[in-house]
Amino acid sequence: MKHFMGEEWKVRPAGGATGEAYIAQHGDQKIFIKRNSSPFLAVLSAEGIVPKLLWTKRLENGDVITAQRWVNGRELKSPEMCEGRVARLLAKIHRSEELLDMFMRMGNTPLTPADLLQNLNERISHFKIKDPYISEAMKWLSASMEGLDFETSVVCHADVNHNNWIMSDDNLFLIDWDGAIMADPALDLAQLLYLYVPKNQWENWLKEYGLTYSANLKYRLRWYMISQCVESILWRWQRQEYHEMTKWSDLLFQLLQETEFHC
């Protein structure tokens, strides 16, 4: 990366799971560089969802390098996820026709609940995982899938963890779009609400987002959160991060106790 930028630039890793992000600095000029970033970064930039895209270059080996304006911001803290600005930005993302159009033109198709369930079943079978909570969760998800009624799929970020929300001056950004999918908007909403917003504030938070907290939405939120718990347990089990599995197992147990279906 340093060779690509030139000797006058000081380049250092920006961290992150992929190791493909860098911070480049030349005097007072500072930019964020990423290799093979999300192909719809230009649309995200144009809509103010991520920091401004400065340029895109394709290397001889086919890799694409993108540069974005560096923002002196900070990650949101967990309690700040309850704020209306988070709800409004997520609503803007989910209702962006430009983002959805770009995503579809790239050949993406919606992730259905059946697709999600099949993926989980395949991973459970592959890793030969036998856990009573996961078994009950998968039976409930399968039995309850027919009740998932939603009108349209939207572009979902799919990882709305507070670490991906960046506050800079008066601007709020949602970064790290590598795992974005087309799906029921409740997929994003479930993770955000269950992990960050007290239940007695859900109705007001959803008003800021632009939705009424209905029985249908409540059902979908629970379905996607149970599936997210299973996904998170599998993800950490695969990486042998057993100590990180506890909170997800506890939340899964709590959610299963609230369902009308028990094994």
For the chain, the structural domain boundaries read: 2-70, 75-258
| Catalytic option among 115, 131, 159, 169 | 159
The per-residue pLDDT for range 182-200, each reduced to its tens digit, is 999 999 999 999 999 999 9
**pLDDT, position 262:** 44
Q: Return d(Cα 15, Cα 236) in angstroms, integer.
A: 20
* DSSP E strand stretches across 114-248: 154-156, 165-168, 171-174, 181-183
Confidence band of 12 (pLDDT split at 50, 70, 90): confident
Of residues 114, 123, 122, the one with CA closest to residue 144: 114
State yes or no: is 159 an active-site residue. Answer: yes
Q: Check for a shared fold between 2-70 and 75-258.
A: no
**pLDDT, position 35:** 85
Q: Return d(Cα 102, Cα 210) in angstroms, integer.
A: 23
Which structure tokens are listed for 1? 């990366």
The CATH code for residues 75-258 is 3.90.1200.10
Transcribe 3-44 into DSSP letters: HHH-TTSEEEE---SSS-EEEEEETTEEEEEEES--TTHHHH
The per-residue pLDDT for range 222-261, each reduced to its tens digit, is 999 999 999 999 999 888 888 888 899 999 999 999 876 5
- Domain range 2-70, CATH class: alpha beta
Map residue 51 onto helix, strand or coil: coil
Q: Return d(Cα 195, Cα 198) in angstroms, integer.
A: 8
CB 261 within 8 A of CB 139: yes
The per-residue pLDDT for range 128-157, each reduced to its tens digit, is 888 899 999 999 999 999 878 888 999 999
**pLDDT, position 3:** 57
Helix (H) or strand (E) holding 57: strand 53-58
Give me the sign of the Cα torsion angle 251, 254, 260, 263. positive
